[in-house]
Amino acid sequence: MIHFDSISKIYPDNTVGLSEVTFSIDPQEFVSIVGPSGAGKSTLLRMLLAEDRPTDGSIFIGSTNILDLDKYELNDLRRNIGVVFQDFRLLPHKTVYENVSFAMEAAGKSDQEIEEDVPYALELVGIDHKYASFPNQLSGGEQQRTAIARAIVNRPEIIVADEPTGNLDPVNTFDIVDILRKVNELDTTVILATHNTGVIDNLAKRVVTIEGGRLVKDSKTDRINSL
């Protein structure tokens, strides 16, 4: 379980990034974090990745408060979290196959593991026929599929997708969301940050809404309270 416990972030100029945000995400759950630009969605995800620290509060993955981890322990933690960005962040001089295999090489995987797992990841996201292409030869949707393959190839327990459809047209948007749904069905926890309400409506999954740094709605607790 992931648990955000009263997370607040106050910047030096007294701007409020987050204010006492508390909620939990169950293992293998698909949760969308929504809200307008500047609401605090990306700030919250950076906290989970330990790329930023809250002013107050704690963040637990299982029984571990990640704020107590040293840099070596944080590196181990991050290996278990795959990240998908809005701007793809592919290595321009590497092919699709090499971009994905590089993630496995960085994790210390063997040549045999790479040869077995990279084709599987590329097939899962529907980009296996483009394995020898470079990023500049791909469409935006194909680049994001490659980025997802890179995020999942080491079989992390958690996938964090920060506005992964922000640069895509509507057709590619729903294709990418469908891929994330399939990843979730493979027992991977998926956390999707987006401001696209069409994506949320199509998913029909739990939605956590953040506005002005505050959690203002959680469809999970709304359902529980209505019972």
Does any domain span residue 21? no
pLDDT in tens, 177-205: 999 999 999 999 999 998 887 788 878 89
pLDDT in tens, 68-90: 999 899 988 888 999 998 889 99
Report the distance separating Cα 131 and Cα 139, nearest Å. 14
Does any domain span residue 57? no
Average pLDDT over every residue of 24-48: 92
Helix axes 140-152, 96-106, angle to 10 degrees: 20
Exposed / middle / buried, residue 71 (Cβ in 10 Å: 0-12, 13-18, 19+): exposed
What is the distance, to the nearest Å, from the Cα of residue 212 to the centroid of all Cα atoms in its chain? 21
CATH number of the domain enclosing 149? 3.40.50.300
Does any domain span residue 164? yes
Average pLDDT over every residue of 120-131: 95
Domain enclosing residue 161, as ranges: 28-40+80-226
Does any domain span residue 19? no
Mean pLDDT of the chain: 91
Does any domain span residue 56? no
Number of domains in the chain: 1
Does any domain span residue 6? no
Does any domain span residue 157? yes
Does any domain span residue 161? yes
pLDDT in tens, 142-173: 999 999 999 999 999 999 999 898 888 888 88
